[in-house]
Amino acid sequence: MIAQVIVNSSAQELNRIFDYKIPEGYTIGENIDIGYRVLVSFANYKSLEIGYIIGFKETSAFKCKTISKVCDRAFDEKKFELAKLMARRYFCNLSDVLRLLVPPGTSNKIDKINIKYERWVRLTKKYLDYLQGHVEEIKNYKIRSQKHQKVIDFLLDNKEIPIAVLTDFVDVGAPVIKALENKEICESFKMEVLRNPFLNKIVKRTSKLELTKEQENVMNQVEIGKYCEYLLYGVTGSGKTEVYLQIIEKVLDSGKNAIVLVPEISLTPQITDRFLARFGRVIAILHSKLSPGERYDEWRRIQSGEVRIVVGARSALFAPIKDVGIIIIDEEHDSSYKSETTPKYDARDVAREIVKKENAPLVLGSATPDIKSFYRAKQGEIKLLELPNRISSQGMPDVKIIDLREELASGNKSMFSRFLYDEIKKNLENKEQTILFLNRRGYSTFIMCRDCGYVVKCEKCDVAMTYHLTKNKLLCHYCGAEKQNVSICPECGSQNIRYFGTGTQKIEAQINKMFPDASVIRMDIDTTQKKNAHEIILNKFRDEKIDILLGTQMITKGHDFSNVTLVGVLAADSSLNIGDYRASERTFQLLTQVCGRSGRGDKKGRAVIQTYLPDDFSIQMAKESNYLRFYENEIKVREKLNYPPFCDIMVAVISRGKWAKSSRRCKAIFQNF
Ligand code: ADP
Ligand code: ZN
Ligand code: ZN
């Protein structure tokens, strides 16, 4: 028999099937199958290459070599079908997709799989037989030392145990064990250990809450055991997560398993804690901040079947979990669900393909759904579920918009309006906590007049132009138009032109000066480089009752702190000018999410949005937390300008060594459309 093999390479020339003979001793369906990884010698390469078996046939038209080594099984036929679909849809090599399906860290070094071992010890079978009288007296087995006897007694009780634990418990040194080994009374052996990322984590178990009528209603509409796509639109704090937990419980009871995607999971330890607290160790967590070894171990726990729920970032879709009974995508509007590296896929589309095959529901949840998803719901392609009210009787926070132009006119040049200053002071006096959000996307890249709020935009595309320092020019990232940089506002003639972006560090210093007695903790790219840094900062904020949490985008997501009653947005505008047709959508989402961090407990929340563009529709709607009106307006704009969902935008990057070559290639592609 011949195995059809795909070689693990991104080179386009190798994106095809190669034939290899199956070695002696291997039978299809037993120890070799579709999805096995193999090592093969390839062309005149010196080292062996990794390949994936994707099929079999009787004979080959070529004189082919034999597979050098059969390794582990990385995926099954279902996953392979998915991979084929993705390779077609996302224009990439099959091996680029297959790489997602293998255990993390092993796609390029199959022989050096990162397994951690411990030495364990147990009594020998011979000695146990002897104790039971099956074997005649052996002189070695006479025990004179009390220490030896203690070890033996302990092993009789505990059977197998790590040497380190044994020596600790019985209080003997390693030489004692060695001596017993020499007498063939006990034997030590290598035991694989799974690194456990939760090892030092204490999580209190929770039981399910009694659902509100609204939650109950949503629960009842989600049918398990059947393919259907749902969009759960629920305001911040409306109890979406509790609904997820209970639907999953239902799925587990039906014998199936669940996948939950959360955005940038390392930023949101709280949500994983909630899953852990409800379901315990049947959960596996996969995210980028785990060490490669930890990730690999989680992967193997999933493979072993002990895991029922995988919680993770988008790549968790490819975890080897069987019988998927539901996929939930939380904060479905989040941009991290689109992969920007090869293969460039949208997790929501891939999830849909998976649940279709598994006859299972797909639940997309958000307080601020992607315009495209909501449009699909309106068109009847997705079933819309709603949680319009907060669980807390205090309702949504009161939001006030502050016009920074007026502040400036009255001589206040700081980043804090007088109103926000007073509110922070009030919170400090009441011992309530404050979150300050600095919208830093588009850092220093766009230019705005501080007197009238004018932003230089591309006339054709109506998006903000991006400032390029190296050229000292403004560029439109859509059509490539260039403009001279401005130093005087073309609208009002003011010279108060500002390059946008103020660092968090600078603001922290300002806060320290304004409120010398307040404790401040900062969360941004600088303070979160270390592993678990997010979690440490957030725990500190919660447990040590730090007065002010100051941060960038990463503080906007998914946190639930009951003592936070004030959220301040220092400058709302920077995401309005990111040079993207989704700028309004992003701004609305960001502001709604961040304001939604306020007043989640039993105290009423407040939020202050500082802006140079107080009349902007996305800011106004975020103030009202009115997604529906925002949507109605935005969808009209999209239709008029023919932006998605009324068209698809595709970016094709063509790179060749020489300009002439790439230009020719571009033309060829262009003519094909
Ligand atoms: P969301 O995911 O929509 O932001 P959460 O599920 O975090 O909302 O719920 C907000 C808060 O309300 C949480 O503190 C949660 O424990 C609480 N909560 C949710 N559902 C209920 C319920 N049925 N009864 C009581 N408290 C609830
Ligand atoms: Zn343009
Ligand atoms: Zn101006």
> Tens of pLDDT along 7-56?
888 777 788 899 999 999 999 999 999 999 999 988 777 788 889 999 99
Query: Measuring from atom 20 of ligand 1, which residue has the nearest CA?
Result: 239
For residues 380 and 509, the model is more confident at 380
With a cut of 60, say whether residue 502 has pLDDT above it.
no
Cβ contacts of 640 within 8 Å, gap of 6 or more: none
Q: How far is the CA of 253 from the centre of ligand 3 (A)?
A: 62
How do 482-484 and 473-475 pair as beta strands?
antiparallel
Query: Measuring from atom 23 of ligand 1, which residue has the nearest CA?
Result: 211
Nearest ligand to the CA of 237 is 1
With a cut of 50, say whether residue 289 has pLDDT above it.
yes
Encode 192-210 in three state secondary structure.
Answer: EECCCCCCCCCCCCCCCCC
Which amino acid would we find at residue 603? K
With a cut of 80, say whether residue 366 has pLDDT above it.
yes
With a cut of 60, say whether residue 112 has pLDDT above it.
no
pLDDT of residue 442: 38
Mean pLDDT over 242-251 rounds to 97
Q: Find out whether 524 and 552 touch, Cβ atoms under 8 Å.
A: yes
For residues 292 and 392, the model is more confident at 392
Q: Report the percent of the chain where pLDDT is more than 90.
A: 45
With a cut of 70, say whether residue 268 has pLDDT above it.
no
Which atom of ligand 1 is nearest to 236's Cα?
4
Query: Mind listing the pLDDT tens digit for each residue in 183-232?
Result: 889 998 887 766 665 544 556 778 889 999 999 999 999 999 999 999 99
In angstroms, what CA-CA distances link 591 with 130, 440, 562? 74, 13, 19
Query: Measuring from atom 10 of ligand 1, which residue has the nearest CA?
Result: 237
Burial class of residue 140 (count of CB atoms within 10 Å of its CB; 0-12, 13-18, 19+): middle
Query: Measuring from atom 5 of ligand 1, which residue has the nearest CA?
Result: 239
Enter the pTM of the model: 0.78
**Cα–Cα distance for residue pair 314/80, rounded to 1 Å:** 18
Quote the mean pLDDT of the chain: 86
Two structure tokens written together for 397: 């926070």
Query: Mind listing the pLDDT tens digit for each residue in 438-494?
Result: 876 434 466 788 888 888 888 887 777 877 655 677 877 677 788 888 888 888 888
**Cα–Cα distance for residue pair 502/492, rounded to 1 Å:** 24
Query: Mind listing the pLDDT tens digit for each residue in 578-600?
Result: 668 898 999 999 999 999 999 98
Which atom of ligand 1 is nearest to 242's Cα?
6
pLDDT of residue 545: 85
Instruction: Report the range of poorest mean pLDDT among 178-182, 216-220, 320-324, 386-390.
Output: 178-182
Q: What is the DSSP letter of 645?
A: T
Query: With the C-alpha atoms ordered 296, 301, 302, 303, is the resulting torsion angle positive or negative?
Result: positive
Instruction: Report the range of poorest mean pLDDT among 105-109, 125-129, 304-308, 536-540.
Output: 105-109
- Ligand 1 pocket test, candidate residues 219, 241, 594, most atoms within 8 A of CB: 241
Query: Mind listing the pLDDT tens digit for each residue in 643-664?
Result: 999 998 887 778 777 888 888 8
pLDDT of residue 444: 46
Mean pLDDT over 338-355 rounds to 93
Cβ contacts of 406 within 8 Å, gap of 6 or more: none
Which amino acid would we find at residue 161? I
pLDDT of residue 300: 86
Tell me how many degrees the CA angle 297-300-301 measures, rounded to the nearest 5. Answer: 90
pLDDT of residue 578: 64
Q: How far is the CA of 494 from the centre of ligand 3 (A)?
A: 5
Smallest Cα–Cα separation from 450: which of 400, 503, 506, 489? Answer: 489
pLDDT of residue 454: 86
pLDDT of residue 32: 94
Q: Find out whether 406 and 453 touch, Cβ atoms under 8 Å.
A: no
Q: Find out whether 654 and 665 touch, Cβ atoms under 8 Å.
A: yes
Two structure tokens written together for 537: 């900062």
pLDDT of residue 225: 94
With a cut of 50, say whether residue 320 has pLDDT above it.
yes
In angstroms, what CA-CA distances link 475 with 134, 225, 385, 463, 471? 87, 51, 42, 10, 10
Query: Measuring from atom 6 of ligand 1, which residue has the nearest CA?
Result: 239
How many Cβ atoms sit within 10 Å of the Cβ of residue 258?
A: 27
**Cα–Cα distance for residue pair 661/659, rounded to 1 Å:** 5
Query: Which residues form the pocket of ligand 1, taking CB atoms under 6 Å from any ligand atom?
Result: 209-212, 215, 234, 236-242, 391, 560
pLDDT of residue 516: 95
In angstroms, what CA-CA distances link 407 with 84, 404, 550, 611? 58, 5, 22, 10
- Ligand 1 pocket test, candidate residues 560, 564, 598, most atoms within 8 A of CB: 560
